[in-house]
Structure 1
Amino acid sequence: MCSYLHKAPNGIYYFRMSIPLDLRPFMGGKREIKMSLGLKDRDAAKLVIPDRTKAAHKLLDRARRDKAVATAPEPALPKSPARLDRERAQWEYDQEQAALIEDAAFAADMEIEALEPIMDALAAGHEPNASLSDIARAGRLLVTHEREKADADKRSAIAKMYARYGENGPAVEGQNQPVDCQSDPQPTGPCKGVYLDTDIVDGWAAERKPSPRGKDAYWRDAKLFNSMIGRKSVEQITKADVMAYKRMLIADPKRSQINVRDRLAYLRTLLEWAAQEDIIPGNPARDVKMAVSERGEKRKDFDTDNLTALFSGPVHANRAIPKDGMAGGQAAYWLPLIALFMGARREEIGQLRVCDVKRVPYIDEAEQRQEAWCIDITDTGDDDALPNQIKNEASNRLVPLHPKLIELGFIEYVERLPDQAGRVFPGLKPIGIGQKLTDKWGQWFSRYKVACGIADKAKVFHSFRHTWKTHAVDAGIPERICRQFQGHEGKDAADKYGATPSMRVLVAAIAAYRVPGLKLSGTE
């Protein structure tokens, strides 16, 4: 009996050899090696089986070598100080890039939201009532949208074709096919019917509690993966699928290396959660990453001239609070000042509640009881319809106010607010899927800084955090204290040990912070 010889319903004989389970990830996730012998005579087919067997064993040997390389443990070497510095610098750069990507995505969302009525009118064949520049931009966005939709439909059709026929197309009778690993249309066990874009995203989000915008981003990436590879139950997703997804992303000229890296990271996160929940035996995307050599435009600090120009503008020099609703009333005055003197993120400041501004007791160096005005940046609080949002666990922090903010009248402003159970900046309104309070405000600030003479696109509101860090280091504030003020996570395991810096230390540190050359006029 020739165990590798099988006759198809059309009478053609095939060579078929099962692939061991542990080698399948290294042979494209295939279940067996299969090839057509192009013969209908059994005796003739048996004569070519030995050669095909040798070829198949060569493929298996190559897969075993690939497995040995992939599973070989890396030697554990101690990290040098120089390597630790490089890793820290890379971590900070990655943080900046992630924030840049978030800002760019938000700007694109806001532009589409503003131009959506014009796009709808153009799609319906109506003449929109808008400026020529807005119509032109909306038209380009509409064309881009239609092209992306067509590309997604095309990829879906191709995926269905491959699922039906395999990469070589339908077999032709009598054709001698080359040795190949044929696609396995079904998993070895029963299909669980657990899908990436529904069950996995929902389960991951229920546990990790991302913002609505964050969940939507992961859902869109799951849909992108399905459109390129084909929608399949999650246990059917193989490393070969992930590698194919990576190649398709790289081949897309509209995607940068950073974009590809982030798409793979989102997929890796979802599959890692599925593996941790024992939905799948392992994460097929765990080792599939994108090396990034390109570097985006790095955000710059505000220099003294920039800050002088900004705070000499009408909002701060004359206390001329804009009537534009996007400016959020008093938020136009206070958000830049708090960001400059406290190093906090924009949304962290904008979502402050009155109860988050509080007096906190502490013991000073003379062992005397003192109190310090603080802001409590947290994701806990009232069970209202709009809970606070923070970036990560390290962002939960209680930090003392800079004396300059108290001098300028921030405490008096908070105490005079009519709604002492509400927010510090009631003029800010939530918008979009993420329900962020400061998104529209950010658009207003971008225009306002240009009006004040700051046209450099690399200098944005987030630059206040960079500026704060520069002046904090110049003031001799230790890195551990800087991280506490800015809500940054530690860079290594050693940073996770030890208590939060005491209020006494934080009060002394913020008092040492100053912005050389900046003069602010007037107090409230």
Structure 2
Amino acid sequence: MYATILQQDEQEYRELVASLLAPDSDGKDTDERWLMPRENPFFVGKLPPAGLVGDVALLKALRPYIAQHLHLATGRDTSFWRLGEGYEPFAAAFRAVSRDLKRRQKGEEVPTPPVPEIAVKGKPTFGWQELLEYWIRDCPRHPRTVREMQTLVQSLSQFLRGKLPADMSKQDVTAWLRHERDSRGNSGKTLEKKGTLMGALFSVAVKDELLPSNPFTGFDYKRLALKIGVQSESGREPFSLAQLQTLFSAEGLFAQSKGNGGGGYYARVWIPLLGLFTGARLDELGRLTVDDVQREPVPHFRIRRAKNSESLRSVPLHPQLIEHGFLDYVEAIQAAGHSRLWPLLRSRGALHTDSEMIGRWFNRYVHERLGFPRTVVFHSLRHTFKDLCRNAGIVSDVHHQLTGHASGSVGDRYGEGYSLEVLQTEISKIRLPFTVPRPEPYIPDQSAAPQRRAT
């Protein structure tokens, strides 16, 4: 590094002289320029005092240049540079070059030593299969997630035709996602999901320094959607009032009492009701156990497994859920010896979650039986709940906490948030302008098809 900096200083001085002697030079400010000391971007002025503090201060000021040399020597991204035990040789080199640059500024002749050749480390030869296997070993993965990742890795590696992970660029990301759109008809939301999943694959290897960079980091999916002509939004809409009245009617969900599809009658009725009155996600509701439902300090349920840390929360029960017998249902399930709230909600394989059963049943029901558009699905209940909160005058940070949405304010991250008592008071403000039928009480061993009471 010492030789490189002196060489660059000498080259800059030669270029300055050449520019002054060039035939097309207009000669402006020539005298002033000749009188100016030779400048160098690596000159640090007055040296800091010797010792640890001085060396670290010097290195911090010159960190970008050090990182550049580290990248040449190791092939690693500059972001991996950290001041640590190896700072001493860098400090010594920069102290020496700072001293000799000052000597040159005073007019002393300081020869430039030959620059040693640096053996540049080549790019990692980490292959796609090794990358996939490393990601799988990193931490426990759900079988379905592994299956999805395997499919994406196969698609991406085949599309890139021999390129290794280390060779992939953001241009490759755009080209691959465009190919997925053209060949599979993927929506903007699906393309973003695929890119996010592949980014997680690269992220593990980059953090452990097996790959130099992650081409999916910071990728602009909204810009991609505009560029390739797809909508970036999910396309999900909240239910209209008329749709809600049809769905939550005696002729709607409550009439679907036959068969075990979607986890049986009680799952098919109570899970959508909970989604409407709490805004919880489908998988959050499908995972609930008897122990997750608590009565103190106010009736609520706990979400202990969710998509991210912000989503772990306690949600108070809306008064209408209590009036309609949800706590009675929980007690009956517990008395029957069940630990899960939905005993019949079980997937048929390891590649699917239990809650997918009710999700598929619900979406098929509203699209095929009720004739609702494809833009409304189970997740639309979450959108509907957010609108119900807004229309009830519930402030955004309250309904963010209810639904497990992260707030954009740094200040909101301090403290534990609103108490359950406050949340229950707020959620009680939600009113529906129509009457929702009361679900049938739980009957042990007949959870699939209770008989409707005569009305």
Deviation at 1:216, TM superposition (A): 2.6
TM-aligned CA distance change 1:337 to 1:244, over 3 Å: closer
Distance 1:451 1:228 in 2: 37
Whether 2:377 is the aligned partner of 1:377: answer no
TM-aligned CA distance change 1:420 to 1:354, over 3 Å: farther
- What residue in structure 1 maps to residue 332 of structure 2? 416
TM-aligned CA distance change 1:233 to 1:352, over 3 Å: same
Aligned-partner residue type, residue 309 of structure 1: T
Distance 2:138 2:418 in 1: 30
Deviation at 1:452, TM superposition (A): 5.9
Instruction: Verify the 8 A CA contact 1:346 1:438 in the aligned structure 2.
Output: yes
Instruction: Verify the 8 A CA contact 1:304 1:518 in the aligned structure 2.
Output: no
Higher share of residues assigned strand: 1
| Of 233, 238, 242, the match for 1:305 | 242
Q: Any residues of structure 2 matched to 1:155-170 within 5 Å, and which?
A: none
Deviation at 1:503, TM superposition (A): 1.4
Distance 2:154 2:353 in 1: 24
TM-aligned CA distance change 1:441 to 1:284, over 3 Å: closer
Aligned-partner residue type, residue 301 of structure 1: P
Instruction: Verify the 8 A CA contact 2:126 2:164 in the aligned structure 1.
Output: yes
Q: Unpaired runs of 5+ in structure 1? A: 1-70, 72-186, 362-371, 380-389
Deviation digits for residues 341-391 of structure 1 (CA, Å, limit 9, x no counterpart): 111111211221111111222xxxxxxxxxx11111112xxxxxxxxxx22
Instruction: Verify the 8 A CA contact 2:250 2:437 in the aligned structure 1.
Output: no
TM-score, structure 2 length as denominator? Answer: 0.61
- What residue in structure 2 maps to residue 465 of structure 1? 382
Distance 2:193 2:374 in 1: 23
Distance 2:206 2:368 in 1: 52
- What residue in structure 2 maps to residue 49 of structure 1? none
Deviation at 1:262, TM superposition (A): 4.4
TM-aligned CA distance change 1:262 to 1:407, over 3 Å: closer
Instruction: Verify the 8 A CA contact 1:354 1:420 in the aligned structure 2.
Output: no
- What residue in structure 1 maps to residue 207 of structure 2? 276
TM-score, structure 1 length as denominator? Answer: 0.54
- What residue in structure 2 maps to residue 430 of structure 1? 347
Deviation digits for residues 120-139 of structure 1 (CA, Å, limit 9, x no counterpart): xxxxxxxxxxxxxxxxxxxx
Deviation digits for residues 467-504 of structure 1 (CA, Å, limit 9, x no counterpart): 11101111121212212221222235344233221112
- What residue in structure 2 maps to residue 183 of structure 1? none
Distance 1:494 1:206 in 2: 37
- What residue in structure 2 maps to residue 393 of structure 1? 309
- What residue in structure 1 maps to residue 132 of structure 2? 201
Deviation at 1:409, TM superposition (A): 0.7
TM-aligned CA distance change 1:231 to 1:479, over 3 Å: same
Aligned-partner residue type, residue 271 of structure 1: F
Deviation digits for residues 14-51 of structure 1 (CA, Å, limit 9, x no counterpart): xxxxxxxxxxxxxxxxxxxxxxxxxxxxxxxxxxxxxx
Distance 1:488 1:376 in 2: 15
Deviation at 1:283, TM superposition (A): 3.0
Instruction: Verify the 8 A CA contact 2:124 2:211 in the aligned structure 1.
Output: no
Instruction: Verify the 8 A CA contact 2:263 2:346 in the aligned structure 1.
Output: no
Q: Unpaired runs of 5+ in structure 2? A: 1-76, 78-118, 442-455
- What residue in structure 1 maps to residue 396 of structure 2? 479
Distance 2:174 2:240 in 1: 41
Distance 1:500 1:424 in 2: 28
Deviation digits for residues 26-79 of structure 1 (CA, Å, limit 9, x no counterpart): xxxxxxxxxxxxxxxxxxxxxxxxxxxxxxxxxxxxxxxxxxxxx9xxxxxxxx
Aligned length: 317
Structure number with greater Rg is: 2
Deviation at 1:209, TM superposition (A): 4.8
TM-aligned CA distance change 1:205 to 1:421, over 3 Å: farther
Instruction: Verify the 8 A CA contact 2:325 2:438 in the aligned structure 1.
Output: no
- What residue in structure 2 maps to residue 81 of structure 1? none
Q: Any residues of structure 2 matched to 1:1-150 within 5 Å, and which?
A: none
Deviation digits for residues 147-175 of structure 1 (CA, Å, limit 9, x no counterpart): xxxxxxxxxxxxxxxxxxxxxxxxxxxxx
Distance 1:266 1:228 in 2: 17
Whether 2:295 is the aligned partner of 1:359: answer yes
| Of 235, 239, 246, the match for 2:174 | 246
| Of 255, 270, 279, the match for 1:343 | 279
TM-aligned CA distance change 1:256 to 1:435, over 3 Å: closer
TM-aligned CA distance change 1:397 to 1:431, over 3 Å: farther
Deviation at 1:304, TM superposition (A): 2.1
Instruction: Verify the 8 A CA contact 1:265 1:289 in the aligned structure 2.
Output: no
| Of 135, 146, 151, the match for 1:220 | 151
Deviation at 1:208, TM superposition (A): 5.9
Deviation at 1:327, TM superposition (A): 4.5
TM-aligned CA distance change 1:195 to 1:324, over 3 Å: same
Aligned-partner residue type, residue 247 of structure 1: A
Larger mean Cα displacement after TM superposition, 303-312 or 332-341: 303-312
- What residue in structure 1 maps to residue 363 of structure 2? 446
Aligned-partner residue type, residue 175 of structure 2: R
TM-aligned CA distance change 1:229 to 1:500, over 3 Å: same
